Structure 1
Amino acid sequence: MKRFLSLALACAALPAVAQAEAPKHLDYLDAAKFTPSQILPPPAAHGSASEAFELETLHRLLAKASPERLAQAKVDSDNENPSLFNNVVGFDLKTKPATWALLTLVQSEGDLAADKSKTFFHRMRPYSADPSIPFCEHKPDPAKPEYRSYPSGHSTLGYSVGWVLAHLMPAKADAILARAADYAMSREYCGAHYASDTEASHVIGTMVGIDLLADPRLAGKIAAARAELSKP
């Protein structure tokens, strides 16, 4: 009895965060608008002819990829934040605090919206469906297939933040949006996602960007970022 009492007291003494993390939730986006079955078609079923076609397409893409493009995919895989646009805007976005705060907010909201669909669709990753697909991040365990392929989190980041940044910096919009698309392609070159995964992210990311830019609660943050970016 004393042993069980000691264990209970020890557990009670643990910080709340260690016992259970508070669930994350959307702060600005309307969760109802991001109901997975209402915004995305279901992905190809595992073992289907459609999945086989997507895997074959991915194999062809990787077979023709240059070492430089594969290396870029690995760099993009490791860089999952708005600084992915630094080269196209011509400066480090972290040096613009109001802009960085807004863009990381967009990323956070987009992550949660994409995660809702990842959980709902529960799609197997390409490298789990076909172990011969190379994966640039780590060596996957074939005994533990991964099921978070549809949509792509990285691609949702690129498309949502890219949409907002393009509207804050219209003179560089073409380059910003092209970078978002190339960043999404890196997920295919990395072997982490199918083309339909990244296209689903295009849908969600654009929705996220449109809704957040139009949210009156963010008007002050958007104005501050735009003013900051207008300065040399």
Structure 2
Amino acid sequence: MKDYIRSVLDVVAESPFVPLEMHARKGVLAVEKLAEAMEAYCNGDQALLDERTEEIDVLEHEADKIKQKIRASIPSSVRLPVNKKDLLSFLKQQDSIADFAQASAYWMTLRPCKDLPDEIKEGFLELMANSLKTARVYDQLVGELYKLLATSFSKEEIKETMQIVPEVEKLEHDVDVLETALLKKIFEHEGEIGGAGVCHLMGLVERIGGIADKSASAADRLRSMILRR
């Protein structure tokens, strides 16, 4: 049995699955930095916002390099336990998590947070916290993928792992609800914020919410990849 497990892990070491987990971690780290950037944005700390934006940019670039490595390794990978097209589709969605974190940070730097009502600031912080929570649970799901490989996708392990997917989807739905509530608050304060300010904040809501959306999409693609193997 030990020899069998060692054989499976040898295949994993030659496959894209180890860098896939590393790639997911880069995305979550970028979202964690974005949460700090959001706090800086709401506090009017432009210097810290710029610093976190640069750090997110580095993490997104590192994720891109891992993505390129994975794509290059797939043609030569042997005995992959999943469909290669499914794997690439899954990778694309996962890569979008870091992309949306980067886009959100850049968007914040375009227009300073001046005189925003406290309830809108609080709404953004809550939206950010829930998007980060979604990304973290998704990261947990990807971590379970390696365990599946180590057990050769046993039915029991698959069942346990698949239970995390609905949790990610539920969190994404919660983020959707928060997005709608925050947009409503933004429009209620249109007179204070101004048309340009409303457009900017709408774009920021969309980008931050996109992190949860892409986390749920990647979770769904991972589920399909495993079930259709």
Structure 1 and Structure 2 fold alike (TM over 0.5)? no
What is the TM-score when the length of structure 1 is the normalising length?
0.27
TM-score normalised to structure 2 length: 0.27
Which entry has the higher C-alpha Rg, 1 or 2?
1
Q: Quick check: which one's helix share is greater?
A: 2
